C-alpha cells in the first residue's frame, strides 16, 4: 500500500509540472467533448461515482481514491475528459469481470448484491444520459452552444462559423445580439463577429455593385445595336 501511494504521488507531481500549453490543450479537449456529448461535466461526475461505488462494494476504497485523484490531475493537466473515460472503462471491466461465476464466488453476498444494484443503476443512468445528451445535441444550434459555453469552450465553434460567414450569418447575428458584454471573453467574441459581418456586408455591396454594372452594360449594348428595317 505504501509503495502504491508513493508511486501515485510521483505520478501526481509529474503531471502537475506539465507546461501551461498542456493546460490549454485540455480546454480544447473539453470543448470538443462538450460539443459532441453535451453535459460532459455530469458524465465525468457520474463515471466517478460509478467507479467509486464499485470499488467500495469490493472493499477497494483506498485504490479507488488513488485512481480518482490521478484522474482528476490528468484531466486538469493533460487529457481532459479522457481520464474519466479510462475510469469508466475500468468500472465496466470490473462489473463484467466480477459477474463471472468463478470470480463472483470469491466475494461476499453483500458485495455481490451491491455490485448487482450498482450495475443496474449504472446501466439505467448511461441509457438515460445518452438519450438526454443526444437530444441536446440534435436540438442545440452552434449559436446556442457558444452562448451557453463558458469562455474558451465556444471559441473553436465560433471560428468555424466565422470561416463561413455567408452560411452562418443568421447564427452570427444571433450570437452578437445575445452576448454578455460584461464578460471579457464575450467582448472578444463581439469584436470577431462584428469584423466578420462587416466583411460580409462589404462583399455583398461589391457583389451588388458588380451586378448593377453588368446589367447597365448589357442595357447599353442592347440600345446601341442597329435596328433592322
- Average pLDDT on 26-51 reads 88
Query: What range does the domain containing 188 cover?
Result: 143-212
**Statement: the pTM of the whole predicted model exceeds 0.75:** no
Report residue 210's pLDDT band, with 50, 70 and 90 as the boundaries: low
**∠ Cα 7 8 11 (to 5°):** 90
Range with the poorest average pLDDT among 10-14, 33-37, 77-81? 10-14
Q: Please say which residue of 118, 140, 162 terminates a domain.
A: 140
- The fraction of the chain above a pLDDT of 90, given in percent, is 24
Domain assignment of residue 120, yes or no: yes
* Same domain, residue pair 74 and 113: yes
* pLDDT for the residue numbered 166: 83
- Work out the mean pLDDT of the chain and round it to a whole number: 78
Same domain, 98 and 163: no
Residues 128 and 150 in one domain: no
HSE, side-chain direction, 13 A CA sphere, residue 20: 0
187/181 Cα distance (integer angstroms) = 5
User: Please, which pLDDT band fits residue 83 given cuts at 50, 70 and 90?
Assistant: very high
95-109, pLDDT tens digit by residue?
Answer: 888 888 777 777 788
Whether 10 maps to a domain, the answer reads: no
Q: What is the pLDDT of residue 155?
A: 80
SS3 of 85-126: the string is HHHHHHHHHHHHHHHCHHHHCCCCHHHHHHHHHHHHHHHHHH
Answer yes or no: do 148 and 93 share one domain: no
Q: Taking residues 180-209, what's their average pLDDT?
A: 79
Please tell me the total count of domains within the chain.
2
Amino acid at each position: 500500500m505504501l509503495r502504491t501511494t508513493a508511486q501515485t504521488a510521483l505520478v501526481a507531481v509529474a503531471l502537475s509540472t506539465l507546461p501551461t500549453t498542456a493546460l490549454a490543450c485540455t480546454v480544447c479537449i473539453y470543448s470538443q467533448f462538450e460539443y459532441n456529448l453535451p453535459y460532459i461535466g455530469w458524465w465525468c461526475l457520474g463515471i466517478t461515482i460509478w467507479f467509486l461505488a464499485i470499488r467500495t462494494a469490493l472493499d477497494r476504497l483506498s485504490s479507488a481514491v488513488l485512481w480518482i485523484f490521478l484522474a482528476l490531475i490528468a484531466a486538469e493537466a493533460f487529457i481532459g475528459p479522457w481520464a474519466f473515460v479510462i475510469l469508466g472503462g475500468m468500472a465496466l471491466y470490473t462489473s463484467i469481470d466480477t459477474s463471472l461465476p468463478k470470480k463472483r464466488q470469491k466475494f461476499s453476498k453483500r458485495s455481490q448484491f451491491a455490485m448487482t444494484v450498482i450495475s443496474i443503476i449504472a446501466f439505467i443512468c448511461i441509457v438515460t444520459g445518452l438519450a438526454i445528451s443526444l437530444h441536446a445535441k440534435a436540438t442545440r444550434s452552434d449559436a446556442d452552444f457558444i452562448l451557453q459555453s463558458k469562455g474558451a469552450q465556444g471559441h473553436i465553434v465560433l471560428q468555424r462559423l466565422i470561416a463561413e460567414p455567408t452560411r452562418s450569418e443568421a447564427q452570427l447575428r444571433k450570437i452578437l445580439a445575445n452576448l454578455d458584454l460584461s464578460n471579457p471573453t464575450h467582448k472578444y467574441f463581439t469584436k470577431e463577429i462584428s469584423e466578420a459581418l462587416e466583411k460580409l456586408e462589404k462583399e455583398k455591396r461589391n457583389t451588388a455593385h458588380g451586378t448593377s454594372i453588368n446589367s447597365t452594360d448589357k442595357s447599353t449594348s442592347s440600345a446601341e445595336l442597329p435596328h433592322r428595317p
